[in-house]
Copies of this chain bind each other. A is one copy, B any other.
Amino acid sequence: MAKRRKYVFSFTEGDGKNKMLLGGKGANLCEMTQIGINVPPGFVISTEACLDYLTGGALPQGLRGEVRSHIRNVEDSAGRQFGSPENPLLVSVRSGSAMSMPGMMDTILNLGLNGRTVPGLAGQTGNERFAYDAYRRFLQLFGKISLGAPDELFDEKMNEIRKRSGTGQDPDLSPEHLKELCGEFLEIIRAHTGKPFPQDPWEQLEIAIQAVFRSWNGRRAVDYRRQFRITPEMANGTAVNIQAMVFGNMGPDSATGVAFTRNPATGENGIFGEYLTNAQGEDVVAGIRTPKPVADMEMEMPGIYRQLVSLRDRLESHYREVQDFEFTIERGVLYCLQTRNAKMNAQALVRTSAEMFEENILSRDQALLRIDPMALEQLLAPRLAPSQKDEPLARGLPASPGAASGAIVFDADAAKERGEAKEKVILVREETKPEDIHGFFAAAGILTSRGGKTSHAAVVARSMGKPCVSGCEQLEINLRAHTARIGSRTLAAGDVITIDGSTGNVYAGEVPVIEAGFGDDLAKILQWSDEAAELKVMANADTPEAAEKARQFGAAGVGLCRTERMFNEPDRLPVVQKLILAETDDARREAIDALLPVQREDFKSIFRIMEGLPVTVRLLDPPLHEFLPSAGALENEILNLRHMMHRNLAGNLEDLAEALRLVDPSLHRKFREDLKRLHGSLSGIDSARTIEALLRSRESLLKKVNNLREVNPMLGHRGVRLGMSFPEIYIMQIRAILEAVAECSREGVDVRAEIMVPQVVTWEELKRVHEYVEKVRAYVEQRYSLKLSFRFGSMIETVRACMRAERLTQVADFFSFGTNDLTQAAFSFSREDAESKFLPLYTESGILQSNPFEALDVKGVGRLMEMTVMLGRQMKPDLKVGICGEHGGHPESIRFCHSIKLNYVSCSPPRVPIARLAAAHAKLKEKEYAAADRSEAFIGKLLKIQPKKIKRLKLANV
């Protein structure tokens, strides 16, 4: 016969690391006991006992004996006796599995009370009321939890007594009332179970243990495990913790409290907490007395305070983490009842990491790993003061973090105008378009009623680090009236609102905001991150302002500089439109000549700012029609003009304009502007001829717009396809870049330019652009008499480019994944449409585990990327590969990028600090994740390429 299994472990012998056997709470109590912390004595019944009980349907053989013998030991340690009427030992009985499952089961306190031990307790505490109060609580909890008596029955009796006593508050009940209540409770239990309440503490204990065991398969627990996907490998069965009760209300030398080893709000190094003298934990909860700061204890009970500080030191040096602990002082003796890792805000996390490393409590890697990279978002954007309690007016999507207050404006021009007058404004739109870009610069924040977290508004706001709430569907905008409605409330232009882009909340009026800080502690943490990481973090930056921000946030370069953002600036857009509408070569050449110096200056500014670091410039990407007015707007104008012609109201154009205003105010404004443009002033003009001229010019513009119109612009005439159709645009851009390189080099600036081609599907496209580059290079080198040095590479954002990776390496020095487009192509989802249509359903109902435009879809898109890297590096082992989509700032996606050995990620400047820390995490946790990855691994199963061939290259400057 096998040796009988040991079920019960004293706190002095249980293995503090074995949570599967002892549960989290039990293991922790054992650990504290064994490192010499004063924990009330007790023992743990293992999860194995639970499982054997559930299998066998009865307490397993020998368990009863083990429990008895351990209770004897507790009696010895506590100096009290279980069931003794004079000096009764009371115990708490708590469940505890390997995984925390809050709410699965309540705690039973004061077990061991009965008709005979209650007076003993009254004597011990000198407080009869307390003893009966404890008894009635025990009876109700035990009755409910262990015996299954309905809670309502107890509550009814309680209410009766309350009414009868004329008191509203429990604490006002007298000992007599409580005694009476205990009698009623005993009766409830008798009636419910058909048996008297078990007065025998041993019987009580046995019943309580079985109830805890059964609770493992109770409905609440089963549901909880299903919901949080807790498998038997993670937690199997519950342990039972039985521990002597201690009391903080045994006189002026007793107390109870909660403390943190460091300040969880600021990170300040020192004990921080609250306590109550001569009180039990429940008194704190009931709120009858105001607790005192722990610092007061130094005066009040200096000896105990010294013990408490020493406890704090012991906890922190043992756990090497800020602790949140509970303590009770019973007649001058300090007991620690519980400890756990403290929850802290971002500021505290960063400060404690920096200091605990410097105090040698944490290693560098530990200091980094304890900070969730996403927590830094709080630090890097302004946020609402935690004190604010206003109810939000409406809720939208948290599209770009940060908070801002300002006056409502409904169009970008107004935003610019008022913004330039230093007024704080919030740009409120149904949705935004590239032509609104000047409004973004001027606004403190953006609020849209349509669009998802990757809508134009969201993407641009994030790239600028401005707060944005998108898709706020309760908001109904009436552009004609210049008002917006939320439910019954109407907001007018100029009304002040506050948006919180971290939560998606919108508030009326101004709500106080705390500005962001980038302190020394954070700088330290990020520098250590860079040392730990293999992946470099670059920034997406289209303007000198963004480049400044990128440097400030510690980017290793600019991984994506979108030239079209430059095209959209108000002073350039007309030239770009001229270029698009040019009917002759001369007109086209003229527009190109006007753009060249402008772009060259843009690049020079950015190159100077990013001196010594790479700047990757992407050639023009979006379809040309994005730079023109929409066909719908033009059609409306034309129809209006036709109506006017038909009505033949030739007399007075002012009348006409006025009539038009009634039909559509926005058209009316535009009409008047056009009239002015045509004639200088509104007076003395031939209205019929003017209208006709206007009509013709609108019709011809519409024709061009219609020619450029596309059914699916995302898949349209854009990227390198433009470079093939209109080589002059690409050649102008290449010339602007290379001349900027030449001029900066002359100034002595260390320029590291990279030219990147978007939307490539075939080698031939890349080769032809490369031919343009070589021609321009020869021209520029000759003109400036110097040798240019730069790199040439390809965006990888079409699936075909992935499939042809080997071939592309024949011209490309580097690859940069455009994971937004690649995700769209892999899923055949249009980002703009999906997020406002079916994607919320998909993620909420679990068809997809997350929005693939936020978290990189590792199983699908990731597999494509991994394959591409393999294919590319097989041909060109030193191929530099990075990613420059929104995913570049997402920690989980960064982890994946690290795992497939990319050289860098590029993200919006405000995300750079997050990404730097995440890149360090990716490296430090790579072993931990390797096993999980393997089950999904593509390589192992599919690729014949020898792993040794593939390595990430340590490039001096990726």
Contacts and interface: CB of A to CB of B under 8 A. Distances in A.
Interface in A595-615: none
Contacts of A127: none
Contacts of A828: 714-715, 759, 761, 797-800, 821, 824-825
- In this complex, which of A631, A712, A765 has the most chain B Cβ atoms within 10 angstroms of its Cβ? A712
Contact of A943 (B798, B861, B864, B944): B944
A824 B715 CA distance: 8
Given A715-B829, A803-B826, A841 B725 contact: yes
A663 B639 CA distance: 8
Contacts of A834: 715-717
Contacts of A826: 761, 798-800, 803, 825
A368 B833 CA distance: 50
A830 interface: yes
A17 interface: no
Contacts of A364: none
A800 B860 contact: yes
A646 interface: yes
Contact of A800 (B632, B827, B867): B827
B717 A715 contact: no
Contacts of A710: 830, 833, 837
Given A764-B848, A826-B800, A859-B803, A711 B714 contact: yes
A286 interface: no
Interface string A682-717: 000000000000000000000000000011111111
Contacts of A421: none
A15 interface: no
Contacts of A943: 942-944
Contact of A944 (B642, B799, B944): B944
A714 B642 CA distance: 34
Given A798-B827, A799-B799, A800-B826, A713 B711 contact: yes
A561 to B, nearest CB: 22
A860 B804 contact: yes
Interface residues of A, number: 69
A659 to B, nearest CB: 7
A682 to B, nearest CB: 21
A627 interface: no
Contacts of A713: 711-712, 833
Contact of A764 (B662, B846, B941): B846
Contacts of A764: 846-848
A842 interface: yes
A820 to B, nearest CB: 12
Contacts of A800: 826-828, 857, 860-861
A860 B716 contact: no
Nearest to A711: B832
Given A803-B859, A846-B764, A716 B837 contact: yes
B859 A804 contact: yes
A663 B643 contact: yes
Interface in A829-884: 829-830, 832-834, 837-838, 841-842, 845-848, 857, 859-861, 863-864, 867, 871
Nearest to A667: B639
Nearest to A767: B847
Contacts of A721: 837-838, 842
B714 A715 contact: yes
26 contacts: A632-B635, A646-B663, A710-B833, A711-B830, A711-B833, A712-B830, A715-B715, A716-B830, A717-B833, A717-B837, A721-B837, A724-B847, A761-B827, A761-B828, A764-B846, A764-B847, A768-B847, A798-B827, A798-B828, A799-B825, A800-B826, A800-B828, A803-B859, A942-B942, A942-B943, A942-B944
Cβ-closest 5 pairs across A and B: A712-B830, A715-B830, A800-B860, A710-B833, A799-B826
